[in-house]
């Protein structure tokens, strides 16, 4: 049910953005486009370094919160067994609410970061959604390190793929990988078995 | 008497807790056997393993001599194992009659092609309706046939789940706490039906908490505690077994 | 007048799409965002066959149905082995890949430029070309789809679907091969959707990938949900409502530039509102619940 509602919100927000800001591509870049620093023959701009550092930091923080803090344990408890969580007095609806909020906030950070590097269009959210889904499946649902690993793997696969296959096929490659995983390794590399309904 | 169901060395671990621990048992055809034990001892888990809803880590299960592990639940159901659930699974929003009709096996109308081959389909539904009514009469629900299942009382819903098992033409009935929450009159009625079903050739394996309650009806009792079998045999002997008494006093 | 006929023709096409998706998502409870992909497959098959092989009505439509059915099976069979939630993701992936093929395999599909000049269908010597003829043509298909699906869901087969939706474990315990039913329903729904695609291609005589995106899938899903899951008349009503509201807006003088966005905002908001306050839709009999 949440899934469908979120699809609806996705459509609404994307179109509001289109309406308010227009469909043209916008940029957030500050200053002149520099060539970037040369590391081992590859070029990387300061912005990209900032992106890597920020994501690493956020990744570590999120993992620690989930693993060590009470909030994190509550979230994992609700994910693992919602009925049992209710019995223990946890307000599962509130937990789901703020987990959603945290996830959305993280997505927003990613968007801001990427906007400094490449341009913005109203449909960029959709692209991120697609990649996020694939990354999570590869890494395994329920595992933060898995998601990070999945994202990294996906990025590598896509960019290496562009080397040999035309870039327009990037998305399709991603989803072909997704389908392969669903077929052969549905829990990804680090995922837990999704708990089926209690009998 | 042949063995209709047997389990050998069944074990299942849930995150470190041994839900079922090296369990071996056998049920003979045409008997009423009860499975008793304290709360959380693994009774429903064993039922779930037998009916294919859970996969054990070790062990084997044989139904009429055939191994049945690692098959999906509908396979067991079609072989002739019917079961009821502790939390009374039914389709609440349809009628009592429709629930029973649903349970019949091999309905042509349930296949895609069968839906459009009208005459055979209609005829089959008529035949099934008659059978369904006689089953509802057996459990005493024939006057409720057109009521929605959700409008039945708790006890009546339990009777309905039994009728569904019978409609499945099951030879072995696994009943999970068939008399829990019922009035004494209803309990008698349920036991009466179980005895009648035994006369008709069925085998019944049922879960129950109450030791006294099962004594009068069981041919054999299997006692488990913390996933392990601690006794199996004649009710009168089981009742005096010190291990059993200890398990229940804990 | 032609404009009104045009709206009605589209309504008929969307009735076919929403009924078939209702079968998958409403009756069998499988949420799918791949419906536009099957819609598109139907359209592209008919377009490519008619332009390269010949305008054979029956043959072309049969090929579309068969291809959609096969692809539906390929997606459904592995994904349903796991959990239903993964199934949504698989349909999402499939939708994107199909769109990718439509958009990028330029040598086959002419990519983003689309395929123009699709010949109109010819039946019994009559070429269907006027708006009125198309209305009758698509109307007949819509009615056939309705009757076909009605027969299916009111049969014992439909009863099993109800069981799967309400209590899958009960259905399994009664010996119903739940996965087989889900796969079958998905194939049937996909095939019917491809028929809608054929009609679309014949009517507009021009197709391009932008008609068959994820957003389109979500739109069709909205029709099903707002109209009412598990209720065929609901799908009809939903199609009528969601296709006429934007027209009313246009009547009220909304500039074209923002009309497209507003239309999407409207149905997106309706979707969210319905999921929050009336998840069974306008006419539906059940709401998406977590089975337990």
Contact B221, B231 (CB under 8 A): yes
Residues in A touching B48 (Cβ below 8 Å):
199
Question: Are residues A48 and A114 located together in one domain of the fold?
Answer: yes
For residues C238 and C242, what is the distance between their CA atoms, to the nearest angstrom? 6
Task: Identify which of B107, A81, B179 has the alpha carbon closest to the alpha carbon of residue C163.
Answer: B107
Whether B116 contacts B180, CB under 8 Å: no
How many structural domains compose chain A? 2
Q: Is the pLDDT of residue C288 over 60?
A: no
Q: Answer whether residue C182 shows pLDDT above 80.
A: yes
- Residue in chain A nearest B48 by alpha carbon: A199
Please give the Cα distance from C25 to C98 (Å, whole number): 20
A151, part of any domain: yes
Q: Which residues pair with B18 in a beta bridge?
A: B13
Residue B220 has pLDDT above 70, yes or no: yes
Between CA C74 and CA C78 the distance in angstroms is 7
- Give B64 or B250, the one with higher predicted confidence: B64
The reply to whether A186 falls in a domain is: yes
**Nearest-5° Cα angle at A88, A83 to A89:** 100
Q: Which domains are seen in chain B, by residue range?
A: 1-80+170-250 (3.40.50.300), 90-169 (no CATH)
CB B124, CB B143: distance < 8 Å:
no
Quickly state the pLDDT bin for C285 (edges 50, 70, 90).
low
Q: Using the 3D structure, point to which of A64, A91, A119 is the last residue of a domain.
A: A119
Confidence of residue C184 (pLDDT cuts 50, 70, 90): very high
B109·C178 Cβ contact <8 A:
no
Q: Is the pLDDT assigned to residue C290 strictly greater than 50? A: no
What confidence tens digit (pLDDT) does each residue in C61-95 have?
A: 888 889 989 999 888 887 777 766 778 888 888 89
Q: Does the structure show a pLDDT above 90 at B81?
A: yes
DSSP classification of residue B26: E
Q: For C279, which of A1, A137, A183 is closest by C-beta distance?
A: A1
In a domain, A13, yes or no: no
Chain B residues near residue A199 by CB distance under 8 angstroms: 44, 48, 53-54, 85
Q: What is the pLDDT of residue A21?
A: 81
Q: Is the pLDDT of residue C291 over 60?
A: no
For residues A105 and A130, membership in a common domain is answered with no
Quote the pLDDT of residue A31: 58
**Banded pLDDT at B186 (limits 50, 70, 90):** confident
Best probe of the A interface among C29, C75, C216, C261, by most A CBs < 10 A, is C261
Instruction: Give the separation between CA B108 and CA B114, rounded to whole angstroms.
Output: 5
Residue C54: its pLDDT value, please?
76
> Which residues in chain A have Cβ-Cβ distances shorter than 8 Å to C89?
133, 137, 178, 182
Residue A34 has pLDDT above 80, yes or no: no
- A33 domain residue, yes or no: no
Residues A185 and A168 in one domain: yes
Please state, in angstroms and rounded to a whole number, the distance separating the CA atoms of residues C18 and C284: 13
**ipTM of this complex:** 0.90
pLDDT tens-digit readout, A141-181: 777 778 888 888 888 887 777 777 777 777 777 778 777 87
How much is the average pLDDT of A84-105? 86
Question: So what's the pLDDT on residue A198?
Answer: 52
Parent domain of A162: 121-191
Q: With an 8 Å Cβ cutoff, is C151 touching chain B?
A: yes
Residues A113 and A129 in one domain: no
What confidence score (pLDDT) does residue C292 get? 32
* Average of per-residue pLDDT values in chain B: 88
**Mean predicted lDDT score pLDDT of chain C:** 87
Cβ(B71)–Cβ(B52) below 8 Å: yes
A125, A185: one domain = yes
Residue A38 within any structural domain of the chain: no
- Confidence class for position C209, pLDDT limits 50, 70, 90: very high
The domain limits of chain C are 2-211
Smallest Cα distance from A53 to chain C, Å? 30
**Interface with A, mutate which of C29, C79, C91, C96 (most A CBs under 10 A):** C96
Region A64-69 average pLDDT: 86
Contacts 24+ apart (CB under 8 A), A125-129: A125/A10, A125/A13, A125/A14, A126/A10, A126/A14, A126/C214, A127/A171, A129/A10
């Amino acid at each position: 049910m949440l899934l469908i509602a979120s699809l609806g919100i996705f459509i609404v927000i994307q179109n509001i953005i289109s309406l308010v800001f227009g469909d043209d591509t916008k940029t957030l870049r500050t200053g002149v486009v520099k060539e970037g620093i040369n590391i081992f023959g590859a070029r990387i701009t300061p912005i990209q370094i900032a992106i890597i550092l920020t994501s690493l930091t956020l990744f570590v923080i999120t993992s620690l919160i989930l693993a060590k803090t009470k909030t994190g344990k509550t979230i994992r408890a609700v994910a693992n067994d919602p009925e049992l969580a209710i019995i223990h007095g946890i307000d599962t609806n509130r937990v789901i609410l703020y987990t959603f909020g945290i996830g959305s906030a993280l997505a927003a950070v990613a968007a801001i970061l990427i906007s400094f590097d490449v341009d913005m269009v109203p449909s960029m959210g959709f692209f991120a959604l697609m990649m996020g889904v694939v990354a999570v499946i590869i890494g395994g649902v329920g595992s933060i390190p898995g998601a990070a690993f999945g994202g990294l793997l996906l990025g590598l696969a896509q960019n290496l793929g562009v080397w040999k296959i035309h870039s327009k096929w990037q998305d399709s490659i991603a989803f072909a990988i997704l389908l392969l995983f669903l077929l052969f390794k549905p829990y990804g590399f680090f995922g837990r078995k999704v708990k089926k309904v209690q009998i | 008497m042949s063995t209709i169901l047997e389990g050998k060395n069944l074990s299942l671990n849930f995150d470190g807790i041994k839900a079922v621990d090296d369990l071996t048992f056998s049920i003979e055809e045409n008997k009423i056997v009860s499975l008793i034990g304290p709360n959380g001892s693994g009774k429903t888990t064993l039922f779930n393993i037998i009916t294919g809803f859970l996969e054990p880590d070790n062990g084997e299960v044989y139904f009429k001599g055939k191994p049945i592990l690692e098959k999906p639940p509908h396979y067991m159901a079609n072989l002739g194992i019917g079961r009821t659930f502790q939390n009374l699974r039914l389709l609440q929003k349809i009628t009592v009659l429709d629930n029973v009709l649903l349970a019949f096996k091999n309905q042509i109308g349930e296949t895609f092609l069968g839906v459009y081959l009208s005459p055979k389909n209609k005829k089959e539904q008529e035949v099934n309706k008659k059978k369904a009514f006689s089953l509802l009469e057996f459990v005493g629900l024939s006057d409720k046939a057109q009521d929605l299942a959700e409008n039945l009382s708790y006890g009546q819903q339990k009777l309905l789940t039994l009728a569904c098992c019978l409609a499945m033409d099951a030879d072995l009935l696994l009943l999970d706490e068939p008399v829990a929450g019922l009035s004494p009159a209803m309990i008698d009625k349920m036991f009466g039906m179980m005895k009648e079903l035994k006369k008709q050739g069925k085998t019944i394996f049922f879960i129950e908490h109450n030791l006294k309650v099962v004594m009068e009806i069981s041919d054999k009792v299997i006692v488990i505690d913390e996933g392990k079998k601690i006794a199996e045999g004649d009710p009168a002997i089981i009742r005096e077994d010190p291990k059993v008494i200890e398990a229940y006093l804990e | 007048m032609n404009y009104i006929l045009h709206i009605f023709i589209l309504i008929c096409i969307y009735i076919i799409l929403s009924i078939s998706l209702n079968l998958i998502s409403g009756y069998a409870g499988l949420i799918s965002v791949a419906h536009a992909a099957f819609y598109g497959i139907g359209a592209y098959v008919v377009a490519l066959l008619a332009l390269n092989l010949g305008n054979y009505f029956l043959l072309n439509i049969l090929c579309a149905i068969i291809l959609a059915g096969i692809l539906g099976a390929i997606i459904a069979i592995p994904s349903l082995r796991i959990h239903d939630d993964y199934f949504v993701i698989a349909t999402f992936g499939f939708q994107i890949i199909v769109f990718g093929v439509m958009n990028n395999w330029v040598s086959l599909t002419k990519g983003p430029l689309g395929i123009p000049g699709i010949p109109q269908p010819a039946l019994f010597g009559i070429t269907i070309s006027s708006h009125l003829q198309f209305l009758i043509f698509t109307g007949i298909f819509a009615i056939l789809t309705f009757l076909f699906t009605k027969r299916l869901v009111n049969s014992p087969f439909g009863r099993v679907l109800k069981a799967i939706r309400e209590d899958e474990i009960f259905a399994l315990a009664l010996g119903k091969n739940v996965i087989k039913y889900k796969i079958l329903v998905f194939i049937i729904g996909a095939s019917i959707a491809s028929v809608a695609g054929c009609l679309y291609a014949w009517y507009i005589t021009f197709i391009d990938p932008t008609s068959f995106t994820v957003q389109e899938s979500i739109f069709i899903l909205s029709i099903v949900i707002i109209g009412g899951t598990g209720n065929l008349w609901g799908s009809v009503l939903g199609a009528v409502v969601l296709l006429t509201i934007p027209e009313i807006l246009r009547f009220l003088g909304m500039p074209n530039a923002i009309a497209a966005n507003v239309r999407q905002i409207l149905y997106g908001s309706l979707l969210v509102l319905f999921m929050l306050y009336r998840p069974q839709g306008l006419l539906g009999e059940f709401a998406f619940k977590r089975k337990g």
